[in-house]
Chain A
Amino acid sequence: MMALFKLREVQLVAVIIAMIGLIAIRFPSFVEPSSLGNVFNDTSILIILALGQMVVILTKCVDLSTAATLALCGMVAAMLNNLYPDLPVALLLLAAILTGALAGAVNGLLVWKLDIPPIVVTLGTMTIYRGIIFLISDGKWINAHEMTDGFKALPRASLLGVPVLSLAAIIVIVIMAIALKRLATGRAFFAVGGNPHAAVYTGIDVGKTRFIAFVISGTLSGLAGYLWIARYAVAYVDIALGFELDVVAACVIGGVSIAGGIGSVAGAVLGSLFLGTIKNALPVINISPFWQLAISGSVIILAVAFNARAERRKGRVILKKAEVAA
C-alpha cells in the first residue's frame, strides 16, 4: 500500500538513469564518476532550496520569495565580507542564515497573523527583498576581487574528497529527512496540508505550523545564498532572478502536490537532480542553453499532469467488493 509513494521515486530514478544512459551512448565522458559528481555538486543549491520549498508546499502554501531571499542573504554576507574582511567565514555564513530566517519569518507572520494568501505575500516580499538589496548595495556589484579568498574558497573546498557544496546539500537532506519523518512538527506539515480542518481537531496550530515552514524555507535560502555568492564570486541585485520557478518545478517534478500534504524528501531531491541533469547535459550534447527554459516548462506541465493522475480520488468506497480490491 506504500507502493504508490515509492513508485514515483522509482520512476524518477529510472527516467534519470535512462536519460544519462542515452547521453552516455554518444558522449561517454558524461558518465565518468567525476562528471556525475559535478552534476550533483551543481545541483546542490537547487536541492537545498527545493527542500525548503517542499515544506512550505506541504502546508498548502507556496514561497515565491526564495530566490530573492537567496540574493538578499548572499549580498548581506558579501557586503559584510567586503566591509570587515577579518570576520570569520563561519560568522558570515551565520549572518546569511539568520537573514534568511528573518525573511522567512516575515513571510510566515504575514500568512499566520494576518491570514494573507501566501502567494500574495511572497509575490510582494519577492520584489521587496530584491529592492532591499538595491537599497543596501546602492545598486553596485560586489566582484570577486572585493571578496576575501577564505570567503570564496569554502564552497570549492572539499572534505574527504567530497566538495563542501555537495556536503552541505547532503547534510540538509539528512536533517530534513529525519525532521520530516521523526519530529512531531515534521508530521504536522503533512497534516496541515492534507486536511487543515482536521488538523485543528487534533490540536495542531495550522498558522504556527505554516510559520515554521516559511522560517525553514527562509533559513535554507539563507544558506543557499552564501553558497551561491561565494561559489560564483559575485553579488548583485539580480542574482538568481527567476530561480524560484526552478525550485517550484523541482518540487512538482518530485511529486510534491501543490494542493498540500503529499511529498517526500527523496522526491524533491530527485526532482532537483532531474532538472540538474538536463542543465548539465545540454552543453554536452551541443544543445543551446536557450532550450533549458522551455524544457523545464514542459517538464513542469507533464509532472503536474502526472501528479494529478496519481492523486485522483477514487470516491467513497461503499461496495464491500471494492474495498477488498482497494
Chain B
Amino acid sequence: MMPVEKSSEPRFVRDRLQGRSERIVKSWESLLLLVAVVIFLVNVWSSPYFLDPWNLSDATFNFTEKGLIAFALALVIISGEIDLSVASILALASTLMGLAMTHGAGVPELVLIGLGTGLVCGAINGLLVSRLGLPSIVVTIGTMSLFRGISYIILGDKAFTGYPADFAWFGQGYVFWVFSVELVLFVLVAVFFAVLLHMTSFGRMIYAIGNNPVAAQFSGVRVERVKFILFLLSGLMSGLAAVCLTSRLGSTRPSIATGWELEAVTMAVLGGINILGGSGRIGGVVLAALIMGMVTFGFGLLNVPGIVMSIFVGLLLILVIAIPKVLNRLAPAKKRG
C-alpha cells in the first residue's frame, strides 16, 4: 500500500448516476415484459383453451429445450463469438445416446453420454476458436456440418427408438402438479446462468471481452480461457437439451432439432443480447423464450402452420433490432423540427 499525501482532501466521485428504479423502467426487459403480457392477453382473448393449466404446461415444451441452449449461447454471443453448431451437437448427442441404448446402456449412462458428448463437442469448438484463433462463425458452421454429419453416418435414414421407460422422465415427467421436469430444469439453468453472468467476476470478464477483447487482454483478462469455457458450457447445454428432447420424443433421427440454432440465436437477440457482443441480460432471454413459446402455442391453437410461425420469428428478429434504430434516428429529427 502506498499512501499518497495530498494537500487537499481527496474528492470522491459518487457511485451511481441513476437510481435503481430508473434503470429498471428504462430497460429492454421491461419492454419485453410488456410484450409478453400483451401476447398473453391476446392468447387469452382469442382462445378459451389457453388458460387451462395443463394447456399452459404443455405450452412450456415449446421453449424449454431451446431455452437451455439459448442461455449458454447468450453468454457466447455476449463475449463476441457465436456458436451455430448447438443444434448439431444436440443431434450428435442424441444419436450417441441412441447408439449406447442399442448396446444396452441404462438411464444414468445415457445421461452421461448425452452430457459428455456435449462437453467434447464444445471443447472442440472452444479449442478451434480460442487456441487457434479462428473465427467462430466459420468454425461452428464447419462443426455444424461435421457433428450432424456424424449422426447421418451412424443413422443414415434410420432412427433409434425404444428408449428405456425410465428415461422418459426427463422429457415427459412432472416434478409437481403441472410443473414438468423440463420446466424446472429451465428455471434452474436460467438461475445458474443469471448468477454466473451478473454476479461473478467470470461474468464481468465476459462483458469486458465482448466490449473490447483487446482492452480486456491488455487488462490481464485471460481471454482465450474464458472463451474456451463458454464454448464448453454451450456444448454442455446442448447435451442437456439432447437428453430432454430425446426423452420427450422417445426417438432419434439425424434430422432432430434441425434449424434450432437459428431459433436459439433469435431467442437470445430478441432477449436483448447484442449480436455484436458486450451487452444483454439473462432475464431478457427468459422473457424472449416465454414470448416465442406463447406465440408458437397461440398460433398452434389457431391452426396457423409452422412455417408462418417461422416468418414471424424472422421478422421479429429483424424488427427488434431495426425498430430501436429507426426510433433513435427519428428522435433527434423531431427535436429539430
Contact = CB atoms under 8 A, between A and B. Distances in A.
Interface string A103-130: 0000000100011110111011111101
Interface in A159-183: none
A305 B266 contact: no
A300 B150 CA distance: 15
B35 interface: no
Given A258-B135, A294-B149, A301 B128 contact: yes
B275 interface: yes
Nearest to B88: A297
B294 interface: no
B307 A134 contact: yes
A123 B265 CA distance: 9
A248 interface: yes
B189 interface: no
A249 B305 CA distance: 32
B31 interface: no
Interface in A233-283: 237, 245, 248-249, 252, 258-259
* Interface size range on B against A: 35 or more
A135 B305 CA distance: 10
Interface stretch (B102-110, B166-174, B308-316): B308-316
* Interface size range on A against B: 35 or more
25 contacts: A117-B275, A120-B269, A120-B275, A120-B318, A121-B318, A123-B266, A123-B314, A124-B266, A125-B318, A126-B262, A127-B314, A128-B311, A131-B308, A131-B310, A134-B307, A248-B141, A258-B135, A290-B152, A291-B153, A295-B149, A297-B142, A297-B143, A299-B142, A300-B145, A304-B142
Given A290-B153, A301-B142, A304-B142, 8 more contacts: A114-B322, A116-B325, A123-B317, A135-B311, A139-B305, A249-B142, A294-B149, A297-B147
Q: In the A-B complex, list the 7 residue pairs whose CB atoms are closest, starting with the nearest.
A: A294-B149, A297-B145, A297-B146, A131-B311, A293-B149, A300-B142, A127-B314
Interface of A: 62, 110, 114-117, 119-121, 123-128, 130-132, 134-135, 139, 237, 245, 248-249, 252, 258-259, 288, 290-301, 304-305, 308
Interface of B: 82, 128, 132-135, 137-139, 141-150, 152-153, 155-157, 254, 262, 265-266, 269, 275-276, 305, 307-308, 310-311, 313-315, 317-318, 321-322, 325-326
